[in-house]
Amino acid sequence: MDAPNTRITPPPLSDCKTSTSTRVDIASAFSSSKLASPMSPLTSFGSAESDIISLPRKKSQCIGCPSSAHIPNRSGPLVRQDRLQRFREKIRSQYKPRLVYHSPPYEIAFAKRHITQSSHKHFSQQDLHEGKELLQRSLSHLSNSTFCKAALVKQASAQDKRHAVIHMTWKLELIERQRAFMQSLRKEQEEELKMAETEMEFFRQLVCDRGLPALQDDQQYLEAIFAEELDDLDVSNEQYRQFMTHARKRVVPFANSSDMELSPDELVADHDSSDSHSDGGSDDLVYGANE
């Protein structure tokens, strides 16, 4: 059926009552007409709706135009949300997040304590053996550069304790040799120099400015310090061995550290043997590490 070519013309406003309600009724009656305008062809409801959806939404300026709020939006947020969900699932299946293990604070504090402290007052041999696995886990979280610097710190600390023990050993050796000299001098001149105490005092002051009681007090004091230095050396050597064990796992090259493997007994015995050869078999007292 062809569309009628007649055009509905509203009655002139002069024939009607010019009130606001009358004008609104006339405009609404004109807009609600189902007849197509002669300027555009007659289209179906589906195609008209798709054209309206494809056009950008603009606020209607005329009174009789239909409002866009009443037009259903079939390609709105539901379609976009579905596409976004599929995109997220695809990304989640292709890329998995990287899991980074952060060491607990107590492991970091334990490793820091091992690196900065090397005294028997802070660690005992039992503490070192019981915390060996915890130290290995703590060191695993350090980078190669940081671990190398930490190992060098422990190497320097062990060398410092080693030289401190050697220095204290020579101090004790000095006191022992002075005491041996005084006893030998006293025995040799006890009968011959009974009347020459002045001469013996001269020799005593020439070699040593302290008497036997003072030397014995110095010996007891230095022996106590020597025992503490030996304990510090044991702790430092054990820490350095544990660091070297971890370094071999990382295949990190270090300088030759064979001189660090000597125990305090071997250090004292080594110095005593060198002194016996240099003195031509003189009587030297050997101090044990357990004294």
Question: Model confidence over 192-244: pLDDT tens digits?
Answer: 767 777 777 777 787 877 778 888 898 999 999 999 999 999 999 998 998 88
* pLDDT at position 273: 57
* pLDDT at position 207: 80
Residue 57 has pLDDT above 60, yes or no: no
Band of the pLDDT at 75, cuts 50, 70, 90? low
Model's pTM, two decimal places? 0.38
* Average pLDDT of every residue of the chain: 68
Rounded Cα distance between 231 and 120, Å, is 6
Range list of β-strands (E), 167-228: none
Residue 121 has pLDDT above 80, yes or no: no
Rounded Cα distance between 127 and 117, Å, is 13
Q: pLDDT tens digits, residue range 159-173?
A: 988 999 999 999 999
* pLDDT at position 89: 85
Rounded Cα distance between 31 and 35, Å, is 10
Band of the pLDDT at 279, cuts 50, 70, 90? very low
Q: What residues does each domain of the chain span? A: 105-276
Which residue has 């422990």 as its token pair? 154
Rounded Cα distance between 88 and 95, Å, is 10
The DSSP output letter for 260 is G
Residue 99 has pLDDT above 80, yes or no: no
* pLDDT at position 96: 65
Residue 177 has pLDDT above 80, yes or no: yes
**Residues 254/149, Cβ–Cβ less than 8 Å:** no
The DSSP output letter for 79 is H
The tokens for 54 are 């494809």
Rounded Cα distance between 13 and 242, Å, is 106
